[in-house]
Amino acid sequence: MFKTIRNAWKIPELRRRMLFTLLIIVIFRFGSAIPVPFLNTEAQTDKGTEALKSWEPFLSEGDAKAEDVSCELKVPFEGVKQKLDHMFDDPMWDEVSIKCLNCGTCTYECPTCHCFDIDQENRMKDGYRFRCWDSCMFSEYTEMAGGHNPRPTKVERVRNRFMHKLKYHLDRYNLEGCVGCGRCISKCPVNIDITQIIKDLKEVGQNA
pLDDT tens readout for residues 40-78: 667 778 888 888 888 887 777 667 676 776 666 677 788
Residues 194 and 92 placed together within one structural domain of the fold: yes
Instruction: For residues 106 and 177, give the distance between their C-alpha atoms in angstroms, rounded to a whole number.
Output: 13
Region 117-142 average pLDDT: 88
Is residue 180 very low, low, confident or very high in pLDDT (cuts 50, 70, 90)? confident
Same domain assignment for residues 12 and 99:
no
Examine the pLDDT at 206 and tell me if it is beyond 80: no
Q: Are residues 100 and 195 in the same domain?
A: yes
In a domain, 62, yes or no: no
Q: What is the mean pLDDT of the chain?
A: 84
Task: Please check whether residue 38 lies inside any domain of the structure.
Answer: no
| 141 domain residue, yes or no | yes
147 in any annotated domain:
yes
Say whether both 199 and 131 belong to one domain. yes
Q: What is the pLDDT of residue 135?
A: 93
Q: Do 101 and 203 belong together in one domain?
A: yes
The reply to whether 165 falls in a domain is yes
> Does 145 map to a domain?
yes
Shared domain check, 106 and 202: yes
Q: What is the dihedral of CA 88, 91, 95, 98, to 10 degrees?
A: 70
Residues 103 and 197 in one domain: yes
- Which DSSP string do the residues of 125-186 spell out, in sequence order? TEEEEEEEE--TTSTTTT--TTS--SS-SHHHHHHHHHHIIIIIHHHHHSS-S--S--HHHH
Q: What is the pLDDT of residue 107?
A: 93
C-alpha 70/C-alpha 197 separation (Å) is 23
- 13 and 107, same domain (yes or no): no
As a whole number of angstroms, the distance between CA 97 and CA 34 comes to 49
Tell me, yes or no, whether 107 and 16 share the same domain: no
Task: Looking at the structure, tell me whether residues 84 and 8 fall in a common domain.
Answer: no
For residue 179, what are the domain limits? 80-207
Domain count for the chain: 2
User: What does the pLDDT read at residue 79?
Assistant: 86
Whether 53 is in a domain gets the answer no
Report which of 143, 150, 141 is spatially closest to residue 102, judged by C-alpha positions. Answer: 141
Share of the chain above pLDDT 70, in %: 88
**15 and 92, same domain (yes or no):** no
Pick the more confident residue, 30 or 154: 154
Helix (H), strand (E) at residue 101: none
**63 part of a folded domain:** no
Instruction: Kindly state the percentage of the chain with pLDDT values over 90.
Output: 33
pLDDT of residue 24: 86
Evaluate if residue 146 carries a pLDDT over 60.
Answer: yes
pLDDT of residue 187: 92
150: pLDDT strictly greater than 90: yes
Report pLDDT digits (tens) over 9-38. Answer: 788 888 888 888 888 888 877 766 666 565
- The arithmetic mean of pLDDT across residues 159-187, rounded, is 91
Based on the fold, state whether residues 114 and 195 are members of the same structural domain. yes
